[in-house]
Amino acid sequence: MLENWTPILIFSVLVGGFAAVSLIAPRVFAVRRPTRVKLEPYESGMRPVGTARERFSIQFYLIAMLFLLFDIEVIFLFPWAVVYRDLAFFGFVEMLVFILVVLAGFVYVWKKGALEWER
């Protein structure tokens, strides 16, 4: 029975060894010459202004989550488009129902004012 697990054991040892070498080698061989400029946070080439702990409006996060939600739902259209001919009329009706549900959610969010940046 041990011979069935030998390839898995060898693979695990190789992966563990690679991970250990990947973590230890840079600490041993890397040249460190820290300067004030190197230790400064990089912000698109701009000089950092203020603190990094600035608070953002909750509206920013709400719009980001809504974008992700509707974006992921739109991704479901691509597999449907690939097999559209095989699904025939039933597939068309099912996707029409899906699009109507997504559209209803979008209208609800819009009417609630979740997409308004300034109130």
**pLDDT digits 0-9 by tens, 63-84:** 888 888 888 888 888 888 899 8
User: pLDDT-derived band of residue 113, with 50, 70 and 90 as boundaries?
Assistant: confident
Is residue 119 one of the residues assigned to a domain?
no
3-state class of 43 per DSSP? strand
Name the CA dihedral angle for 107, 112, 116, 119, rounded to a multiple of 10 degrees: 160
User: pLDDT-derived band of residue 119, with 50, 70 and 90 as boundaries?
Assistant: low
Q: What is the rounded distance in angstroms from the CA atom of residue 100 to the CA atom of residue 44?
A: 41
Where does residue 74 fall: left (phi above 0), alpha (psi -120 to 50 degrees), or beta otherwise?
A: alpha
The pTM for the full model equals: 0.51
Is residue 117 one of the residues assigned to a domain?
no
The percent of residues above 70 in pLDDT, for the chain, comes to 95
Which range of residues forms the domain containing residue 79? 2-112
Q: Please say if the pLDDT value at position 42 is more than 80.
A: no
Is residue 118 one of the residues assigned to a domain?
no
Is residue 89 one of the residues assigned to a domain?
yes
Lowest mean pLDDT among 1-15, 35-49, 70-84, 88-102: 35-49
Is residue 21 one of the residues assigned to a domain?
yes
Say how many domains are in the chain: 1
Which pLDDT belongs to residue 43? 67
Q: What is the rounded distance in angstroms from the CA atom of residue 105 to the CA atom of residue 17?
A: 50
CATH number of the domain within which 18 lies? 1.20.58
Triad 53, 57, 62: Cα angle to 5°? 120
- The residues that bridge with 46 in the sheet, in sequence order, are 43
